[in-house]
Amino acid sequence: MPSIATRLIPAWLRQYQLSALPTDVIAGVVVGVLVIPQSLGYAVLAGLPPVYGLYAAIVPVAVYAWLGSSNVQAVGPAAVTAIMTASALHPYADKGAEQYVLMAALLALMMGSILWLAGQLKLGWIMQFISRGVSAGFISGAAVLIFISQLKYLTGIPIAGNGLIGYLSSMQMYASQLHTLTLLIGMTAFTLMVMNRYGSTWVWQSWLSASYAKWAERLFPLILLTIAIVLSISLHWATSGVATIGSVPQGLPSFTTPYLPDFDEALNLLPTAGLMALIAFVSSSSVASTYARMRGEIFDANRELTGLGLANIAGGFFQSFPIAGGFSRTAINVDSGAKTPLASLVTVLVMIAALIAFGYMLAPLPYAILGATIMAAIIGLIDMATLKSAWYRDRLDAVSFIAAFGGVLIFGLNTGLVIGLMVSFASLIWQSSKPHVAIVGQLAGTGHFRNINRHDVVTFHNLLMLRIDESLFFGNSESVHRHVVQATRQYPEANEIILIMSAVNHIDLTGQEMLISLNQELLNQNKQLSFSFIKGPVMDIIEHTPVITDLSGRVYLSTMDAVNDLKDRMDTR
């Protein structure tokens, strides 16, 4: 039985090598400094005061570093969870900042509880059911909504809504409230951010070495933020009508008992908390598993669920909002030399220092700068490359992408994700309902059997061999039955029908009933049905059922055995 120390102290810390300490410290400091503007912006995106972005980067990050599955993943406020928080809590926007903050922490607690429970139930496999098309379409649609939602900070126009139509309608309605100076500040910052992010080759690399150019690109948002604060103070932007952050609470996030909602409130938030848990897990596990493969480490999806869940639960008690793993901050963490989760603990110390020593310096910062930062960063999440690739390689995945993308823009995040998932599952069912059933023949001089339409093969006048390339279940049994019947009509002289089951991994009750019925139909036509290459787990299911006990032919270990036993050796074609 493991000792208490073994259970409480993570393996990475028990096995820590001091040689990794310098690079971990450097990586932690770099990530902490660079993600301050991003954290502030994501809090604003979630509808919270900017300081809550720093709160969300302290306790949850420390808990994940201690318990999470990845040695290098950097978790914290993320774009998608932030906008889903804003969307879920939109009805509370007019009930005061205090109530809104409590509801955001409650949402983190609910989402974390769902993730933790899923981890205990070993549901890590669920990420396999979110197709690439759905996840890319959802994130791309959310990115467009995030981009548009930030226009209120760049223009001063109080736009709001859950979907594209709502945002555009409110923008048109309140267009007269456009603030020219705010627009000038925001557009200038946005242009500079885009140039920095997407024009690094000629902005930085034209006069700096590759390594210096990389750091110049990463430090630029922080430099711009500092310049904006200096200009805001010297030019008195706040008195000119430019919205600024204002007073920032001093000190660390305090322990707060979670708000206890009534039943209706909890019921309204539960679907959103579930969808956020799903999205947070998929995005975080994608990043963590990618870096685990790159580093030759083992990724445990269930441990990821547990670690991410406990991080959000802890955040719910310390004024956080839902957090997830982020690709950009993880990439910075790895590139800066992080070896273990100690780097994330150093990042937490940087955030604490920022709150204690420098929080007051953020007061003059214009919201337009934070909006521009988010807008420039979010462009990269609009993944049209995946849509283009899917359109040429897998149209059904492309349809799922379009469904999720369009659903998010028109109906909002939650409904859009559900639409994408439904289309994806419908596509999966549609594909499974049309299984490939091939008529095969023998490659001359070998024991291999291939599709007669693709290869030059030998066939036998009295044998009809069909390979079923799909498991048999209620959704495709009728289609398989139809394929077999059509083939027997196409080759009426064949009186031995062999079904090759090498690709069949399961046969449900409907599939079994179809095979029983097919056997009887063929028997009525003086034809025998035989099986070859039935896998062990499948045979375990059907061995003592009429599928086998009433079979007119035999079950052969291999197709070659069936052919040797049943073919007319004197008449081939």
Give the tens place of pLDDT for each residue, 231-249: 999 999 999 999 998 887 8
Query: How many CB atoms are closer than 10 A to CB 451?
Result: 14
How does residue 28 score in pLDDT terms, banded at 50, 70 and 90?
Answer: very high
Give yes or no for residue 227 having a pLDDT over 60. yes
Model pLDDT, residue 571 = 45
Nearest to 424 by CA among 278, 281, 289, 272: 278
Please calculate the CA angle 252-257-263 and round it to the nearest 5 degrees: 140
Classify residue 533 as exposed, middle or buried by CB count within 10 Å of its CB (0-12, 13-18, 19+): buried
Give yes or no for residue 17 having a pLDDT over 80. yes
Calculate mean pLDDT across residues 324-336: 85
Integer CA distances (angstroms), 266 to 86, 317, 453, 521, 548, in order: 16, 17, 59, 56, 52
Residue 162 vs residue 76, higher pLDDT: 76
Calculate mean pLDDT across residues 338-347: 94
Report yes or no: 420 and 134 within 8 Å, Cβ to Cβ.
yes
Model pLDDT, residue 264 = 86
Give the tens place of pLDDT for each residue, 122-133: 988 876 677 888
Nearest to 133 by CA among 406, 356, 364, 410: 406
Model pLDDT, residue 572 = 43
Calculate mean pLDDT across residues 422-445: 88
pLDDT mean across residues, the chain: 90
